Amino acid sequence: MTAPAAEEAPVPARESGPWDADEAHPETERVDLGGLRLPIGPGFEVQLNVAGDRIVGAVVLVNESALQVHAFAAPKRNGIWGEVRADLARELTAAGGSCEEQEGPFGPELAARIKQEGELQPVRFVGVDGPRWFLRGVISGRAIADPEAAKVLEDVMRDIVVVRGDQPMAPKEPIELRLPTEARQAVEQEAAKDGRPPLDPFHRGPEITEVR
């Protein structure tokens, strides 16, 4: 006689973000980038990371600090931040940088020094495993040494909404982003004038700036 399949335990409600689009989360002003809904505030500037003709990440600039975020698909039953963290540590060390693990507001993170233009620059790698997705953030600039500046970017990370979608995706595959409608139309008009592709990776990336 076949034993009945064990019922999966319900996923407990999380008390803080980043949030999944299908779970209850606080309403606030966010830029809709498709796979990510990114909170914005006074003085924020948002730039988009382009790989080929795809938008794969975003950078939030504020108070001489930067938060770069990328979202990836992940397995349903287990997170990948532990594996990604180990891979990052090996890659950074091999490239002449250094890193050490520390505890941060989102759990384990990497405090690293990476080579940029021949100099070692301090950065923080933070990660959050969500339901079938993984969100990675890289904090740099003034926020490395200034706790108040760091809190602003940590709050941005905490208030991001990830829209994973139902399509099949391999683990670690980037969740594709898109420009908001108004910004996309502006970029296409500018590209038509210049005679270049709408998302030319060698041209300065699209920006969304909010100044109040």
Q: What is the pLDDT of residues 170-190, one digit of tens each?
A: 999 999 899 876 665 555 556
Highest mean pLDDT among 51-55, 92-96, 197-201, 203-207: 92-96
- For residue range 59-90, list pLDDT tens digits in order: 999 999 999 999 999 998 889 999 999 999 99
Spell out a b/e string for 160-198, using b for 16 or more CB atoms within 10 Å of the CB, else e: bbbbbeeeebeeeebbebebeeebeeebeeeeeeeeeee
The answer, yes or no, to whether the previous bond of 18 is cis (omega within 30 of 0) is yes
Checking if the pLDDT of 35 tops 70, the result is yes
DSSP string, 76-125: SSS--HHHHHHHHHHHHHHTT-EEEEEEETTEEEEEEEEEETTEEEEEEE
Q: Are strands 207-209 and 30-32 parallel, antiparallel or unpaired?
A: unpaired
Q: Which residues contact 205 (CB under 8 A, 6 or more apart)?
A: 47, 48, 49, 50
Nearest of 62, 66, 80 to residue 123 by alpha carbon? 66
